[in-house]
Structure 1
Amino acid sequence: MSCNPDTSAEVIARLKDEGRDYVAVGVVHPDLPFMYGDAEVDVDQFDFLVATESEQHGLFQVPHLAPIPDTDYAIGLRASALIADGGTLQLGIGAMGDAIVQSVLLRHQRNEDYRELLKRFDVDEHCAQLVETIGGRGIFEKGLYSATEMFVEGFLHLFQGGILRRPVYDFWALQQLINLGQCNPDQLKPECLVAMAELGVRELRGKDFDVLQYHGFFRDDCYYKEGQLFSASGVSCAANMANPTSQQFIAEHCLGSQLRCGKVMHGGFLLGSGAFYSALRDMQEDERRKLAMCGVDKINQLDQNPRLYKAQRQTARFINTGLNVSLNGAVASDTLENGQVLSGVGGQYNFVAMAHQLGGGRSVLMIRASRVQGGKALSNVVASYGACTIPRHLRDIIVTEYGIADLRSKTDEEVCIALINIADSRFQDELLAGAKAAGKLSPSYTVPLQFRNNLPHVISAKVAWARAKGMMPAYPFGCDFTEAELDAAKCLKAAADLSLTQKIVAIINGGEETELASRILSVLGLCEPLGFKDKLIKRLIQRLAR
């Protein structure tokens, strides 16, 4: 199923279980990479196979269009310091996710520069203890594993960069032994058998044997039948891992030399640019097999196999984005206060809840401290809000461009203080007044001086310094726009940030058709406006592109 085993496999399984009639149609596309895991299904699952051609139906692509904003780079840098070596990572799509990937690559490949950035962005000054406790500043010696609903392009860069390389295996006791350091995947020893029995693995079942043999724990020339393990010569013993006689027999005749077929990522579906699909298609099969696709019923919760998934997802960091955060720690990510829905929730709620279920797991929600709407700056840290995606009882870590707020297990007053400290300083006084009026803060509390300079131009200056050093490039993973298209996008963004009054004034004043304006108008097809609206847009662009 290539890019989409996320819900398809589950739907078909449910239809079969319910005895319902259905027709399954598979569309064969030559440009889709052949992925493994649950994406690999028997052809008999389909009633019809339909062939298509690239020229007729191109793959849906998410091109690299906009540069990573300064705010997102500051947020991504901070979030990257919360990721623990040897842990688990989940990311969403978008500029903030790309900023995290670039920061993680910098941490691993240019570690001294990365540490300098943490100092310049005051991470060491304000969040040193949190970073040391749950994250890190060093390179990824053990590597990362990913369990993510969306296999975004950033994970490919982490894989190619040698960071996404911690393999996991599909037998709970085996994975636990690896986590405990009692099983070396590169050199299996008889002691593993005793340790596995001590974990509670005794009578092996056929399906357990199959999984362990798939991963190389048992040699390919041995086999299981009716509660017995048989060697290549046909001699057998009871398939009882706790029996000393069986342990000796297995060590001599059945134990493999090293593990194989580990997965460094489990993803529900993949989405990205044409270059992303091409890179996966061209990847060697043994490498592509490490990037396993499976249903979201396995990714987004622990219910299906809690012992296994908890063992695999150690020190998990589930990193997602939100629209705003209220001073009680609740986050709105999909819906505005008036009920307008901006996006689906996706797996965000599941991952936040899972972070609280997993030992060492943490949820990280990234939120821009402010936004410009109708030409006016507004705070995304708010006193209260009439919509909620993540409730206050699941509050955990919030990251803005100005800092990190660790909200887990904190009192309401501590949460208020932590969030106001990472809010835009232009709105801190208003937030303080609201919190005090609600009885959440002591009347005498004031924002410490070190948090009173949370302003956009401060962040821009720091990012500019990093960009000049090649640490925070505008397009770290390439751009699919031409220079003229980039100019047009920048101009349209500037127009969108204007208030209605500012737009009217700009249109009235107009401007000369500079070389820049001509290029932009050509890209937008407005060289010869046909209607009144097009003429107004042309005058606005001529005014802005000076």
Structure 2
Amino acid sequence: MQEPGRFTRIEDSVDALIARVGKKLVVAMPLGIGKPNPWINALYHRAKADPEIDLWIITALSLDRPHGRSLIERRFLGPFAERVFGNYPNMDYAEDDRRGRLPPNVRVSEFFLKTSAYIGNASVQRNYIYSNYTHAVRDALTLGVNVYAQALAVEQTPEGPRYSLSCNSDLTRDAIEMSREMGNPLVQVGVVNRELPFMPNDAVIEPELVDILVDDPAGTHTMFGTPNMRVDDQDYGISLWTSTTVRDAGMLQIGIGSLGDGIAQALITRDQDNASYRAMIEALAPGRTPAWAQLDPFKEGLYGCSEMFVNGFMALIDAGVVRREVFDHEGLQKLLNAHRITSTPDAALLAALAEDKVVSSPLNDADFAMLRHFGILKDEVSFAGGVLTLGDQSVPARLDDPAVSSALSEGWLGTKLKHGRLIHAGFFIGPNAFYQRLRDLPRELLDKIDMTRISFVNDTFGHEGIAVAQRQHARFINTSMMATLLGAAVSDALESGDLVSGVGGQYNFVAQGQTLPGARSVMMLRAWRTNSAGKPISNIVWSYGHVTIPRHLRDIFVTEYGVADVRGQPEGEVVKRMLAIADSRFQDELLAKAKKQGKVEPDYEIPAEQRQNLPEVLEARLAAFRASGKLPDFPFGTDFEPVELAAAKALMKLKRQRKSPLALAAALLRGLTRPVAKPEVLERLGLTKPKTLSERFWRALVAGNL
């Protein structure tokens, strides 16, 4: 007989939900890959078929399989998507929303968008909810959310199945607890996806918290894998400079994409091949390596605390760079930070606990539980009536007595502190190899990864003490699209008001960088980009009609040309330091605007050594390291096959050429008149023997770019 609230068919669970909640459904789901795609598709199609159902979906980062627009893009992406994305199902509501085809009884709101995917989409832009990540639950509940649906991982144990929030522990517990506090408990739906890696610790969810649990084979599917992107010279320049801001024994937060991979590669090189690392930094600015730059290998290692657990972090853990374990106890962590104790329990550790009054004397029940939990005392030790007992031996439970500490160190103590964490994170997403690595991790290492609440990771409110203790020397590294010359950052939207992505956790991390002792906020940006007309333009501007981070929170900016530490600096000095990391093609124009506004002296001139901020100079300075393999295109592997990489390179050239008729014509001429350099690319794209005029045209363009 089936238990109440437990279902083996998705459609039955939808019936049960409607019977329980009614036809007014405000459904929240996690961002990214924690959505139960088949389940939400079933509910969405039920609403499409029944106009009486009022469905409002509130979520973020709805991810669909890549699809090409042109013939050539579809031929390139088709086989790749089949291989990489397997049976991953698109979310039908997202596709209809993108095409403007949502039925009138369905509404979709997101608080973070797939980057640039919805610029100009009126429906998506109109229904967007502008929330900090840490406020997403609060804001969603005020809109009447009555259902929270999430994909779950499952682990079989002798006692029965255990369930895990896996990739998205970020918002779920806060949503359950806050809805109860508001007197309107939501219905928690969990859909098992056996492809999800089972994550322990805070990710494990008690079955009684799941009102509707669905274990239907249709709920299991390939996870959305984000292929590693190529780390180019611009990315490596930014990443190398950023890595010099990271302190040993500190905390690290990074994001996804080529910059995240570049930083991870730079930090690994710094630790494992320090001579090459120092040579790279010297090459970036010959004779001008800043005195503050952190260049040494890591003695103690780093701890990760990041809203997103990404492939780069896994590489840092595997390389032993992220190796500084932290513990969920403020007093214990402070003693470790001060190097007054080590991770090996001994008499000195016991004495330090007593001296700083981390434990009482004599011990109480809570103290004893703490000592057992962290492995300071062996599990075999018992406690009663103020006495510690091991076998037929007993001692008074007073750690402030040197004789007791000495006695306990003879066989009563554990061999190593337990329950240390290498990383706290709210959600994860990455390439397929990353997911497989998580599935294959030894349990001892997996237990050191704690997927937990975003309210813990992205904020310090309510847990300031442990945050300060664990997050020493924190570096919160984020990315912006643009920055103003006065130190504001533009990261999520255009001055037109169109949302590009979302603020996510950026504000919270910047705020932590300003408030935690010894912490810094590091904002990375590419100094220049190519606009829609194919023209290079500066990403450092005088001003912009929208900012994500206001300039009173300015801290450290990094481009491929260097580091600008602008925290607490006068306006004029901020301008000079930002000019020093701007692309030299735009420095004169920026300087003229600053002089016009009186922000720098009329006779100020940019130093000659800062006038070499040019792409070709950067390329030359990194060329030797590129050639030697020290700066690989894909430091942590790629889902693309060699022929696909060659094809992708040609197609990217072609995309840029579309903005220039002359460049396009030149490529066409080359393709028609020269031998094909890589015929396997044409074969991969089905252009070896073109049958139509369109195919002949595409063949010539692709061949002209090989």
> TM-score higher than 0.5 here?
yes
Q: What does the per-residue CA deviation read over 1:288-344, in whole Å, with 9 as the maximum and x for residues that have no partner?
A: 101111110110011131111110111011111111110110010111122221112
User: Does residue 1:210 correspond to 2:372, yes or no?
Assistant: no
Match of 1:97 among 257, 260, 263: 260
- How much has 1:85 moved relative to structure 2? 1.1
More deviation in 198-207 or 475-484? 198-207
In the superposition, relative to structure 1, how do residues 485 and 221 fare at CA in structure 2: closer, same or farther (>3 Å)? same
CA deviation map 1:361-387 (0-9, x unaligned): 111111111011121000011111111
Instruction: State the aligned residue count.
Output: 535
1:478 aligns with 2:637: yes
Corresponding residue number in structure 2 for 1:47? 211
- Report the Cα distance in structure 1 between the residues aligned to 2:563 and 2:510, rounded to whole angstroms: 17
* 1:391-406 mapped onto 2 (5 Å cutoff): 391-406=550-565
Q: Residue type of the partner of 1:31?
A: E
Change in 2 beyond 3 A, CA 1:489/1:503: farther
Partner in structure 2 of residue 38 of structure 1: 202
Structure 1 residue 520, shift from structure 2 partner: 4.8
CA–CA distance in structure 2, aligned partners of residues 224 and 321 of structure 1: 52
Deviation at 1:512, TM superposition (A): 3.6
- Aligned partner of 2:430 in structure 1 is 272
The more displaced of 263-272 and 38-47 is: 38-47
1:113 is aligned, of 243, 268, 276, to 276
Q: Describe the superposition over 1:210-240 as per-residue Cα deviations: whole angstroms up to 9, x where unpaired.
A: 3442111333234567x95653579999988
Question: Displacement of 1:434 after TM fit?
Answer: 0.4
Q: Distance in 2 between matches of 1:108 and 1:53?
A: 45
Pair 1:83 & 2:285 matched:
no
Q: Distance in 2 between matches of 1:71 and 1:143?
A: 27
Q: Could you tell me which residue of structure 1 aligns to residue 168 of structure 2?
A: 4
* TM-superposed deviation, 1:70: 0.6
Mapping of residues 130-279 of structure 1, within 5 Å = 130-131=292-293, 136-190=294-348, 192-198=350-356, 202=360, 209-222=368-381, 230-232=388-390, 244=400, 252=407, 256-257=413-414, 258-279=416-437
Q: Which segment drifts farther, 154-163 or 184-193?
A: 184-193
In the other structure, the counterpart of 1:371 is 529
Structure 2 counterpart of 1:71, one-letter code: Q
Identity across the alignment (%): 38
CA drift of 1:18 comes to 3.1
Q: Tell me the SS of whatever aligns to 1:169.
A: coil
1:358 is displaced (CA, Å) by: 1.1
- SS state of the match for residue 292, structure 2? helix
* Worse-superposed segment, 248-257 or 348-357: 248-257
**Structure 2: runs of 5 or more not aligned:** 1-164
Are 1:517 and 1:541, in contact at CA under 8 Å, matched by a contact in 2?
no
Which residue in the other structure is 2:615 paired with? 456
Is the CA contact 1:383–1:434 (under 8 Å) kept in the aligned structure 2? yes
> What is the CA–CA distance in structure 1 between the aligned matches of 2:666 and 2:632, rounded to whole Å?
34
Q: Which amino acid aligns with 1:421?
A: A
Distance 1:502 1:368 in 2: 27
State whether residues 503 and 540 of structure 1, in contact with CA within 8 Å, keep that contact through their aligned partners in structure 2.
no
Distance 1:206 1:324 in 2: 55
User: How far 1:259 sits from its partner (Å)?
Assistant: 1.4
Query: Quick one: distance in 2 between partners of 1:102 and 1:56?
Result: 33
Residues of 2 paired with 1:539 and 1:6: CA distance?
A: 47
Deviation (angstroms), 1:53: 4.8
**Paired letter, 1:462:** R
Alignment partner for residue 676 of structure 2, among 515, 526, 529? 515
Residues 449/485 of structure 1: CA separation in 2 closer, same or farther (3 Å cut): same
SS at match of 1:340: coil
TM score, norm. by length of structure 2: 0.70
Higher relative contact order (CA 8 A, sep 6+): 1
Matched, 1:69 2:232: yes
- Distance in 2, matches of 1:300 and 1:508, equals 48
TM-score between both structures, scaled by the size of structure 1: 0.89
Indicate conservation of the 8 Å contact 2:654/2:664, yes or no: no
* 8 Å CA contact retained: 1:190, 1:251: no
CA distance in 2, matches of 1:250, 1:537: 83
Per-residue Cα deviation, 1:373-405 (whole angstroms, up to 9, x for no partner) = 121000011111111111111111111111110
2-side partners of 1:291 and 1:259: how far apart? Answer: 16
Are the counterparts in 2 of residues 364 and 396 from structure 1 also a CA contact under 8 Å? yes
* Residue from 573, 576, 591 that aligns with 1:414: 573
Deviates more, 1:343-352 or 1:508-517: 508-517
How much has 1:4 moved relative to structure 2? 1.1
The answer as to whether partners of 1:325 and 1:382 remain within 8 angstroms in 2 is yes
Distance 1:155 1:509 in 2: 43
How far, CA to CA, are the matches of 2:186 and 2:692 in structure 1? 51
- Bigger drift between 55-64 and 261-270 goes to 55-64
3-state SS in 1 of match to 2:476:
strand
Q: Does 1:545 align with 2:702?
A: no
For residues 503 and 205 of structure 1, what CA distance do their matches in structure 2 show?
A: 81
- Measured in 1, the distance between the counterparts of 2:592 and 2:434 equals 49
Structure 1 residue matching 2:203: 3-state secondary structure: coil
Q: Corresponding residue for 1:26?
A: 190
Q: CA deviation at 1:128?
A: 2.1
Task: Please tell me whether the aligned partners of residues 517 and 545 of structure 1 are also in contact (alpha carbons under 8 angstroms).
Answer: no
CA separation in 2, counterparts of 1:483 and 1:508? Answer: 22
Does the aligned pair in 2 maintain the 1:183–1:192 contact within 8 Å? no
1:307 aligned to 449, 465, 490, which one?
Answer: 465
Deviation at 1:504, TM superposition (A): 8.8
* One-letter identity of the residue aligned with 1:354: Q
State the one-letter code of the partner of 1:408: R
Q: CA RMSD in A?
A: 3.0
State the alpha-carbon separation in 1 of the partners of residues 348 and 703 from structure 2.
Answer: 77
Conserved? CA contact 2:690–2:696, under 8 Å: no
Q: Do the aligned partners of residues 229 and 522 (structure 1) sit closer, same or farther apart at CA in structure 2, a change above 3 Å counting?
A: farther
Q: In structure 2, what is the Cα distance between the partners aligned to 1:151 and 1:508?
A: 41
